[in-house]
Amino acid sequence: MFGLNKTLPKFCDLKGKVAIVTGAAKGMGKAHSLTLSKAGAKVALADIDLAGCQLVVDEIKKQRGESFAVKCDMSQKKDIDNLIAETVKKFGKIDILVNNAGIFPFKPFLEMQEQDFEKVIDVNLKGYFLAAQAATKEMQKNQPNEKGQRGSIINIASIAAIVGFPGLVHYCGSKGGIIGMSKAMALELAPLGIRVNNVDPGAIDTPGASMTNMDPKAREAMLAPIPMKRSGTAQEIANAVLFLASNESSYLTGSTMVVDGGWVAG
């Protein structure tokens, strides 16, 4: 009525923005990449699985987006530095970083070796720190927008930062660490116009945590504590990422969006 929609700005418009998504070859990282691209961003895709990333680049090209893939092990500083340098070389700047690459290898606490613990911390926590620090150095060169904003960092944590899961002592430690680290980063980076927020997904159906192929009894037990009685989709997490990446969330920093069908509300 009265052209109301015409007077509203396009919601979550990322035209002219450059984003990096880690762990982009499949699962949630793929959904974040396709979604940010649909919103107008140019997207650099990073993963240890370069061939998988290339397939996502092809999908992005089909939807007329701009993208490229970089082989990057998030536990290796030299790979992360190369990812940042390649992105700036190809797209000129960085506005958005989605730290998403994560591993969750189940192992009982008493069988967990030092190397098991270190591997998870290196990818899930140290990698997020290194990528955020390197991206920030580029973001602070950006011209601030009308709200003084220069960039947005989104860290994919987990409800494992809030509740414990047996067999995932290292993973829960890494995800809890992300929340604390992000809050401290948010305080230091607010004066620079860079926002840092987290998303805590609940049970999301992805290749890494497939609910579809689960034994029906195990699936029923897994869904029992979830008030919505279903797993979430990668797209439902990508929608939260899109909001946090865009100017529509310009007053959010140091926050965590829990996207879990109500699981930890109880």
Ligand X SMILES: NC(=O)c1ccc[n+]([C@@H]2O[C@H](COP(=O)([O-])OP(=O)(O)OC[C@H]3O[C@@H](n4cnc5c(N)ncnc54)[C@H](O)[C@@H]3O)[C@@H](O)[C@H]2O)c1
Residues annotated as part of the active site: 171
The token duo for 28 is: 């949630």
Type of residue found at 174? S
Which two structure tokens, joined as six digits, stand for 237? 């997490």
Which one of 139, 204, 245, 258 is in contact with ligand X (CB under 6 A)?
204
CB-based burial label for 106 (10 Å; 0-12, 13-18, 19+): exposed
Q: Alpha carbon 112 to chain centroid distance?
A: 27
Smallest distance from ligand X to CB 159, Å = 6
Q: Alpha-carbon Rg of the chain, whole angstroms?
A: 18
* CA gap 97, 18 in Å, rounded: 9
Binding marks (x or -) toward ligand X, 217..256, rule CB under 6 A?
----------------------------------------
Burial annotation 15-24 (CB, 10 A radius, 16+ → b, else e)? eebbbbbbbb
Smallest separation (angstroms) from ligand X to the CB of 3: 40
How many other C-beta atoms can be found within 10 angstroms of the C-beta atom of residue 230? 12
DSSP state, residue 122? I
Of 21, 2, 186, nearest to 99 (Cα)? 21
Residues in contact with ligand X, counted by CB under 6 A, come to a total of: 30
Asked if 206 is part of the footprint of ligand X (rule: CB under 6 A), the reply reads yes
In the complex, least distance from residue 203 CB atom to ligand X, rounded to whole angstroms: 5
Nearer to ligand X, 47 or 236 (CB): 47
Report in angstroms the alpha-carbon separations of 26 from 72, 82, 206.
14, 21, 8
Nearest distance from C-beta of residue 4 to ligand X, angstroms = 37
Q: Note whether 101 binds ligand X by CB under 6 A.
A: yes
Window of 21-29, 55-63, 179-187, 212-220 that interacts with ligand X by CB under 6 A: 21-29
Nearer Cβ to ligand X (150/170): 170
Q: Which is nearer to ligand X, 66 or 165 (CB)?
A: 165
Nearer of residues 156 and 193 to ligand X, judged by Cβ: 156
Question: Least distance to ligand X from the beta carbon of 206, Å?
Answer: 3
- Judged by CB under 6 A, which of 14, 19, 29, 168 binds ligand X? 29
Residue 91 or 104: the one with the smaller Cβ distance to ligand X is 104
The position carrying tokens 């994919």 is 156
Q: Which of 156, 185, 242, 245 binds ligand X (CB under 6 A)?
A: 156
Contact mark string toward ligand X, 48..87, x via CB under 6 A? xx--x-------------------xxxx------------
Angle at the Cα of 32 (from 31 to 36), degrees rounded to 5? 120
Kindly report the number of other CB atoms within 10 A of residue 114's CB atom. Answer: 7
Residues that bind ligand X (CB under 6 A): 22-23, 25-29, 47-49, 52, 72-75, 100-104, 123, 156, 158, 201, 203-204, 206-209
